[in-house]
Amino acid sequence: MSANLYAAFLERQTPYADKVFLNWSDRLSLTYGDLPAAVGRYQAALVALGCRPGDRLIVQAERSPAFIMLYLACLAAGVIFIPLNTAYTPDELAYFIGDAEPRVVVGQAATRAILETAAAGVEGARIVTIEGDGTGTLEQQAAAATPLTSVHPSAVDDVACILYTSGTTGRPKGAMLSHGNLSSNVAALTEAWRFSADDVLLHTLPLFHAHGLFVALQLCLWNGCTVLALDKFEPNAVIDALPRASVFMGVPTFYTRLLASGRLTREACRTMRLFVSGSAPLLPQTFDEFEAATGHRILERYGMTETIMITSNPYEMSGRKAGTVGYALPGIEVRIVDGDGKVVGDGVVGDLEVRGPNVLKGYWRKPEATAQSFRPGDWFITGDVAVAEADGRVTLVGRSKDLIISGGYNVYPAEVESVLNDLPGIKESAVIGVPHPDFGEGVVAVLVAEDGATLDTAAIDAAIADKLAKFKRPKLYEVRAELPRNTMGKVLKAQLRQDLGKTFTA
């Protein structure tokens, strides 16, 4: 029996042929009954370009209906789909294309020359475009094609997608996610978040990221929901669309911008049953302010490129707790261990590991990196530092690479940030370690002030004196207008460490 994810989508969508699957900014409407032919045309176009099962396809393009059809066509054809961030530089693109050796590279007219240069070393690679308005070369080819109806009989372990990691510990690695990884995770999320065909999801996330593609979009495809998609995230447009939706997913920056609009009210959210946040930590302040404005507690969850979603706060709003990422999803196990791989006690900080059908098959063409990422018993080493309560609730403390060792003592940035963020006038903070001649590493706090506030760093240091041990307290404070972030809202601590790396040694 085929384990192809697209085949599972089609089977589950059978009762909803007349139902709208995709409404794109009220310019395009596509029903579930329309979907097989639309996908089949793109599948035919891929075959005409020489794609065969197991070939790779790279796409770097803005979100559009064509992007979705292309993804589904790759699943149907057994072609490995590799979405890339639209912010990647030409040098980064050359690395990804050289590493993946794709049969086809999909971009946009504005970047075609860059892609052609980046792909010059890959024999036989074809360059095509999607523009989102039907004018791309692949869109035109698909429009003229006769739809294919066959679906490749993929096995559970066959690779469906490759997502490249951020490369914070070296060159990016391609995480191979199988059809089984994706289908098991969407089934677990359906159970945990109680998705049904009655839902309408308001979608504004990038499609090149797991959050927008594997969580938001696939939950709708799996459950026969309607996707109400906007061209991009814009606070007023989102608030105007909320009364037509029941679910919204975003990164923390989305929620702070919605709150800053001044238009977010209980009335605006009257039809909503679920707000989900992920891809970066949500500040407890944002959690509290959102509940005060809307009556909703944001559901925070945790996942990573290699595993998709791992944990989630409970569906019941009363069980959602600011600053935590909740409990392991159905069918998934987590544990907290010390450096020797031994499970630590409740409330003890350690390394978070995960085991389950959601865990990646391995890293593309990197068997050594794959082997180093697992402990015996198929436990995947996440690289995150966490603590678990007696009932299993998980709180992330930071990344193991972000751990600061100052004077021989461990300092976990999240602990220091939590104390700082509770102080009046501080909007948010980022705590890093940089080289220090006496302590090995010195703790540095980068602060962002709330609107209209002026930060007195001496007063701040005095205010935390009785809240943190001296070795945990920052040896330097820097106030900035904002923290550097990637496209998904994660603070770029590596950039801060580079910027401030000579603070104590210059």
Counted residue by residue, the chain has a size of 506
Domains assigned to the chain: 5-21+31-179 (3.40.50.980), 233-399 (3.40.50.12780), 403-500 (3.30.300.30)
- Give the CA distances from residue 445 to residues 66, 331, 415, 460, in Å, rounded to whole numbers and listed in that order: 43, 39, 12, 11
Angle at 469 between CA 463 and CA 470, to 5 degrees: 80
pTM score, whole prediction: 0.87
149: phi then psi, degrees, rounded to nearest 5: -115, -10
Return the DSSP state at 343: B
pLDDT score of 170? 60
pLDDT score of 506? 61
- Residues forming a β-bridge with 411: 404
Helix (H) or strand (E) holding 112: helix 112-118
**pLDDT tens digit at each of 506 positions of the chain:** 799 999 999 999 999 999 999 999 999 999 999 999 999 999 999 999 999 999 999 999 999 999 999 999 999 999 999 999 888 888 889 999 999 999 999 999 999 999 999 999 999 999 999 999 999 999 999 999 999 999 999 999 999 999 998 654 467 899 999 999 999 999 999 999 999 999 999 999 999 999 999 999 999 999 999 999 999 999 999 999 999 999 999 988 899 899 999 999 999 999 999 999 998 788 888 899 999 999 999 999 999 999 999 999 999 999 999 989 999 999 999 999 998 999 999 999 999 999 999 999 999 999 999 999 999 999 999 999 999 999 999 999 887 878 888 877 778 888 889 889 999 999 999 999 998 877 888 899 999 999 999 999 999 999 998 888 888 899 999 999 999 998 878 899 989 999 998 888 76
pLDDT score of 86? 87
pLDDT score of 487? 80
Return the DSSP state at 485: B
Query: Using CB atoms within 10 A of its CB, is residue 36 exposed (0-12), middle (13-18) or buried (19+)?
Result: buried
Dihedral angle, C-alpha 112, 118, 123, 126, nearest 10 °:
-20
> From CA 121, how far away is CA 97, in angstroms rounded?
9
